[in-house]
Amino acid sequence: MIADPLLTHAAADYLFREAELLDGRRWEDWDALFAEDGMYWVPLRHDQQDPLNHASLFYEDAILRDVRRRRLEEKHAWSQQPVTRTARIVGNVRIVAQDGEGLRVRSAFQISEWRQGRDQRQLAGHYTHDLVGTAPGEWRIALKRVDLINCDGIQDCYEVFL
Amino acid sequence: MADDMLAALVRPDKVHKRVYTDPAIFDLEMERIFGQAWIYVGHASQVPKPGDYWTTLIGREPVVMVRDRDGAIRVLYNRCPHKGAKLVADGCGHAGPLFRCPYHAWTFALDGRLRGVPFRQGYADTGFSLDDPQFSMRPVARIAERRGFVFCSLAEDGPGLEEYLGGALASIDNFADRAPEGEVEVAGGVMRVMQHSNWKIFFENLNDTGHPQATHESSFAAARRTVREKLGGKTPFQLHIIEGNGEPNSFWESLELRCYDHGHSYMDAIFNAPTDAISLEYRGQLEAAYGVERAQAILSMNRHNTIIYPSCSPHTGFQQLRVIRPISIDRTLVEIFTFRLKGTSDAFFQRTISYTNIVNSPSSTVMVDDVEVYRRCQEGMASDGGDWISQHRMAGHDTPFEGGLLGAGISEVPMRNQFRAWASYMGEAVA
Ligand code: FES
Ligand SMILES: [Fe+2]
């Protein structure tokens, strides 16, 4: 489908703003983008359909996201001494589905992740955002799905939201 | 390195840093420990049908576990006897009725025996023979299975699996007994985490009751804040398993640490038996299958991490198995498997998956601080700031029993017990 260019522009802008919040470690503001029962999901497998009966790298509701964001700012979060820094590029933004209640947006990302004393890590993959809300100003994330190209590979630890 | 020098690295209450930092010692460990001990390879449920295979490492040796046509499980070196190519790609898959080498198409029966070689005429009047075992895939020296858990030893001689496991055997039995049908199966995927530290550091951590309060402060403190500020003081299951690390000293002191010969041990469970609807339904299924008394006996064997030295650590209560693969002196691969108890509900399994995601995954808010301190140990050990690693906590207070040692909750006896095994493996002359 070819979506309305203005809507695509608004969706891209939404994703860029989200990226800025994450790269700025503004966890609370980022979390506020989610709908009340919104989920943040990083599958362990390509094409994984089921987050409940199969392990995931992240499958976090509002409660688990709340713990993670608080932990990242805890004084004695040893693995955040010093903190993780990220910069990401989001592109190829397309609206792939749309109905009266919301839309699905697909994009690709590159994240550079770094901590002092550790190797810089390059992450890449695809985002799928299910946004609910009738107008751009009202969009909330019902599901943010992050498909890493190496989701089923050998991993170093993940700490910050991708 | 001379054996008496090796022995001098292990003292009753401390070990020399070289055991964690010297690549020559790592090489010897591969030969003397991983070349002798029973090593966990995989679970029978990973290869349900003839031809199904799963690859892994025994020490440095790439092996393939395969279901033969007669239903038996074989474990073979993943190496073609022609030019050495690995016969199957790493991971799991299906070989079909034969293994076929991707390089020159030699074929092998699922028990490793050579079946066919192209260009046969070229082998006339040479030293080659179809029946000579040097031209077949080599099986590992010994294989043994307990409740579907498959272990191998690369040494012809040594104690049998049950004798080797001693009191840790009960953890494996209990793992499967917890299923109403008495069987478990691998399900829900496998996670792989690379730790930037020596493999022994991970094993020492598994029963280290002195670390949770300090190491995991960030996650249990954050979980408690969430409980207070967002959940009105109620702790859901997901946060209970994070928050438990913050128990006070008296809690850890009250636990028991039971150690067995060959380096195995376990610590008492740290999470109480849950009484939510899912757990109660499960208890009912278990009682229906076994009777009330037996079900109670199965559930009351409530062990937190069991250490099966030097290859894996089951967590029976949440159906987890962590498999430890040393890669080099300062790299350790940990694979996390989740099991389904046959005869339980999806809801029960979904809680198992939650535990995997929250506690054992590479993105766990809990484990990330473990992995950080392991790495700091590895980096700090290499320094000239000292030569010895302390294991003094309650040293000299271990209570020996037939086949093992008992220690109080805060004792470092599991580490001392591991090094007792380490020294005896490493001290033995190479056969
Ligand atoms: S290397 Fe296997 S057939 Fe040649
Ligand atoms: Fe820990």
CA dist., res. B363 & res. B333, Å (int): 15
- A94 forms bridges with which residues in the sheet? A106
The pTM of the full predicted model, rounded to 2 decimals, is 0.96
- One-letter-per-residue 3-state SS of chain A: CCCCHHHHHHHHHHHHHHHHHHHCCCHHHHHCCEEEEEEEEEECCCCCCCCCCCCEEEEECHHHHHHHHHHHCCCCCHHHCCCCEEEEEEEEEEEEEEECCEEEEEEEEEEEEECCCCCCEEEEEEEEEEEECCCHHHCEEEEEEEEECCCCCCECCCCCCC
Chain A residues with CB-CB distance to B376 below 8 A: 78
CA dist., res. A53 & res. B352, Å (int): 9
CB contact under 8 A, A156 and B193: yes
Ligand closest to CA B366: 2
Inform me whether the pLDDT recorded for B52 exceeds 70. yes
Span B168-202, pLDDT tens digits: 999 999 999 999 999 999 999 999 999 999 999 99
Q: How confident is the model at residue B429 (pLDDT cuts 50, 70, 90)?
A: very low
CB B213 within 8 Å of CB B243: no
Looking at this predicted complex, what is its ipTM? 0.95
Instruction: Give B233→chain A minimum CA distance, Å.
Output: 13
Q: What is the largest CA-CA distance in chain A?
A: 49
Q: Is residue B80 within 6 Å of ligand 1 at its C-beta?
A: yes
Q: How many CA atoms lie within 13 A of B340 on its CB side?
A: 19
Residue count (chain A):
162
Q: What is the pLDDT of residue B428?
A: 60
For chain B, the average pLDDT equals 95
The whole-angstrom distance between residue B124's C-alpha and the CA centroid of its chain comes to 47
Nearest CA to ligand 1 atom 1: B83
B104 Cα nearest atom in ligand 1: 3
Span B77-129, pLDDT tens digits: 999 999 999 999 999 999 999 999 999 999 999 999 999 999 999 999 999 99
Q: What is the pLDDT of residue A118?
A: 87
For B252-276, what is the mean pLDDT? 88
Amino acid identity for residue A150 in this structure: N
CB contact under 8 A, A55 and B350: no
Query: Which of A157, A158, A161, A162 to substitute to test the interface with B, most B CBs within 10 Å?
Result: A157
Per DSSP bridges, beta strands A85-99 and A56-60 are unpaired
Environment class of B30 (CB within 10 Å of its CB; exposed 0-12, middle 13-18, buried 19+): middle
B191–chain A Cβ distance below 8 A for any pair: yes
- Spans of all domains in chain B: 39-146, 167-426
Q: How far is CA B224 from CA A158, B220, B234, in A?
A: 22, 6, 10
Span B206-250, pLDDT tens digits: 999 999 999 999 999 999 999 999 999 999 999 999 999 999 999
B101 Cα nearest atom in ligand 1: 2
A55–chain B Cβ distance below 8 A for any pair: yes
Strand stretches in B261-310, DSSP E:
265-268, 303-307
Instruction: Please tell me whether the peptide bond between A82 and the residue prior to it is cis, using omega within 30 degrees of 0.
Output: yes
Chain B residues with CB-CB distance to A59 below 8 A: 357
CB B79 within 8 Å of CB B138: yes
Q: Is CATH 3.10.20.30 what the domain over B39-146 is classified as, yes or no?
A: no
Q: Is residue B100 within 6 Å of ligand 1 at its C-beta?
A: no
CA dist., res. B429 & res. B431, Å (int): 6
> How is B49-103 classified by DSSP, letter by letter?
STTEEEEEEETTEEEEEEE-TTS-EEEEES--TTT---SS-SSEEE-TTSEE-TT
Q: How far is CA B170 from CA B119, B259, B307, in A?
A: 53, 13, 12
Inform me whether the pLDDT recorded for B203 exceeds 70. yes
Domains within chain A, CATH numbers bracketed: 5-148 (3.10.450.50)
Span B124-172, pLDDT tens digits: 999 999 999 999 999 999 999 999 999 999 999 999 999 999 999 999 9
CATH domain B167-426 topology: Naphthalene 1,2-dioxygenase Alpha Subunit; Chain A, domain 1 (3.90.380)
Residue B421: closest CA among B17, B41, B29: B29
DSSP single-letter state for residue B175 = H
The whole-angstrom distance between residue B60's C-alpha and the CA centroid of its chain comes to 16
Chain B residues with CB-CB distance to A78 below 8 A: 215, 218, 369, 372-373, 376
pLDDT under 70: residue ranges of chain A: 1
Q: What is the pLDDT of residue B7?
A: 84
Chain B residues with CB-CB distance to A63 below 8 A: 226, 230-231, 236, 238-239
- A40 forms bridges with which residues in the sheet? A60, A144
Span B326-346, pLDDT tens digits: 999 999 999 999 999 999 999
Instruction: Map residue B332 onto helix, strand or coil.
Output: strand
Q: How confident is the model at residue B289 (pLDDT cuts 50, 70, 90)?
A: very high
Pure H helices in B291-345: 292-300
